[in-house]
Amino acid sequence: MFEIVKENCYTDNKFISIFSGDFMKRKMKNKLPFNRGPKNLLVGMLIFGVILLLLSRLMNLSRDSDSINYSTFLNKVEAKEVKSVTVSGQDAKGVLTNGKKFETVIPYSQRSWDLLEKNNVETTVVSQAGQLSFWHLFMLISLLITVGFVWYMIRQARNAASGGGGGSGSNIFSMGKSKAKMFLPSSIKENFDSVAGAAEAKEELKDVVDFLKSPEKFKRLGAKITRGVLLVGEPGNGKTLLVKAVAGEANCPFFSISGSDFIEVFVGVGASRVRDLFKQARKNAPSIIFIDEIDAVGRHRGSGHGGGHDEREQTLNQLLTEMDGFQTGNDSVIVIAATNRPDVLDKALLRPGRFDRTVHVPFPDLISREQILKVHIKGIKIDPDLPLHKIARGTPGFSGADLANLVNQAALNASKMKKQMVTMKDFEESRDKIMLGKENKTMVRTPEELKTTAYHEAGHALMTLLLPKVSDPLHKVTIIPRGRALGLSHSLPERDKYVKTKDELLADVKISLGGRVSEELIFNQKTTGASSDFRSATHIVRAMVCSYGMSDLGTAVYSQSREDFTYSSKTAELIDKEVQKILDENYKETFKMLKNNKDKLVKLAQELLDKETLYASDIYQMLDIEPREDHKLIEG
């Protein structure tokens, strides 16, 4: 990753889950207020029970009859206070002579009937056949609901054990179902034209598309297509978008799932989900399975003991079996996975027959960045003269997501300033804000501090101008504080550099030392503001000595890493002396160059104090220096 801003600072620093056949049916069921499931069934039983209880209470409150015991009933009959009685079994309801209603329980005895007849009580006997009391009804309905609930649990448990069906698994009985979302070809709008840049990655993935479209072209000669493709790249470089483009180009079903979706606290669930996922994919073959962040489930086995490690390893074992096991068929199912940690993946996962093709998705180069910017500025009102190529030059090391964020931040900045369109100034502000932080407008500095900062940054900028053939072109220099930096000098690379010469590395060292040298030359003092510059310079020189073979110690590689060549303490002393010697030599050369151009240094610093920010075109004209020519790029 290449730095475009030399921080020469003065301080220390809604998807829809679609399943074959019954999609519309499931969609309608999902709209019902009581969707099927044990939880909803229990809620329904509870609500029904509460309703029955309320009804029984209301019935008790609405009754106009009094309950009396058997002795009181006999006394009222003998006192000729009972007008009529209706008997059903042992339950009796009647009316008193004063019009009040009552109810009681009478035993099976002849005395009761004789007493009623003796006192001329109008008696009616009702048969119990065909009658169903309220509580009998309640018990019957409760029993039916309980039986239905038990039957539903047994059926769901059997389905879960057999691994059938699909879906996201929203309850305990469908926990073994795959959580993958399936997208039909009609719902996938992306294709390779939707992906800007990544030409090499798209070329690799075209083989997958060709096989899914016309497998007979490969099978006629006995060739076997790659079963798995592993996309490797840093976050934001477009791995997921590439997989969607493959699915769109191949015009086949696309199953998407994250590696973490396989793992649960219950042992065996992950393996069950893997089986269910491949079962669905084979049913819809030819199809694509995309496993994002596969390192969540595909890490080296044996790295832990017990608990979640066992579950993860069982899931990984099942994935290995499904991809290339004893019972693996010749289904046209391609597995594409993505990760930014290929170093932690199990070796069995990467062997031929499984993920035997690795496609690198690097950070976009200069041409790709310009193409990506063209995609993201669609729909945004921008200045017609906006130099996209210049923006692309100023963003090496930016991923596709970073560039999308850059465009969005520029649009937000223009909207906040109530502009009619997004200009280059908005992109400059957005880039600086993303890389260094927001401008610190409330910082209070003394005139002495401001002057020291101006000469410090002028030293960096002037050294860049004095080394035109081996340094990146100067873009701008400012003393406006941003983030932790009191000032900074921007260099704008002409192109993406893949190798650097010794002279270019030493030029970077001299530019880093220019700030401190300028302070010492003008004020004859040293401040803490150059610490980050020294750190950068030391890092470059140490790499030259230990890794690049660019010193008097020869071409050996010196490293303290266990995986590389180690060195003794005596060699360490030699390395330290060599690093210090190179730094001292370059410090002296930088001091000499700035001293010979002291008039330019003073003029540049004074202009910085006056205007705070200067662009390269203004500096070239002010110092009467010929502007640099654009670098000739050779493609291919």
- The pLDDT tens digits of the residues spanning 555-586 come to 888 876 666 667 888 999 999 999 999 999 99
- Does residue 413 carry a pLDDT above 80? yes
Query: Of the listed 204, 293, 457, 607, which one is catalytic?
Result: 457
Summarize pLDDT for 57-100 with one digit per residue, the tens. 655 554 566 778 888 888 888 888 888 888 877 778 888 888 78
d(CA 456, CA 519): 6
For residue 193, what pLDDT is reported? 85
pLDDT of residue 197: 82
**Residue 30 pLDDT exceeds 50:** no
267 has pLDDT over 80:
no
Average pLDDT over residues 227-252: 88
Which residues are within 8 A (CB) of 178 and not within 5 positions of it... i.e. 6 or more apart? 166, 169, 255, 257, 273, 274, 276, 277, 280
Q: Please give the pLDDT value at position 181.
A: 75
pLDDT at 460: 95
Mean pLDDT lowest among 407-421, 540-554, 620-634: 620-634
Q: What is the average pLDDT across 200-223?
A: 82
Helix (H) or strand (E) holding 254: strand 254-258
Shortest CA distance to 508 belongs to which of 478, 545, 537? 537
Asked if the model's pLDDT at residue 439 lies above 70, the reply is yes
The pLDDT tens digits for 131-187 are 555 556 666 776 777 777 777 767 666 655 444 444 444 454 455 566 667 777 777
**Among the ranges given (166-175, 223-232, 397-406, 456-465), the one the predictor scored with the smallest mean pLDDT:** 166-175
Spatial neighbors of 98 by CB under 8 A, at least 6 apart, are: 81
Q: What are residue 175's phi and psi, to 5 degrees? A: -65, -30
What pLDDT score does 256 carry?
A: 87
Residue 2 pLDDT exceeds 70: no
Q: Are 360 and 233 in contact (CB under 8 A)?
A: yes
Q: What integer best gives the mean pLDDT of the chain?
A: 79
For 41, 67, 612, the CA distances from 99, given in Å and listed in that order, are: 47, 15, 105
Q: How far apart are CA 307 and CA 207, in angstroms?
A: 40
Helix (H, G, I), strand (E, B) or coil at 300: coil
Give the SS3 label for residue 468.
coil
- The pLDDT score that the predictor gives to residue 178 is 61
- Select the more confidently predicted residue: 536 or 302: 536
Any catalytic annotation for residue 370?
no
**What's residue 31's pLDDT?**
41
Portion of the chain with pLDDT greater than 70, in percent: 78
d(Cα 214, Cα 217) in Å, to the nearest integer? 6
pLDDT of residue 549: 92
Length of the chain: 636
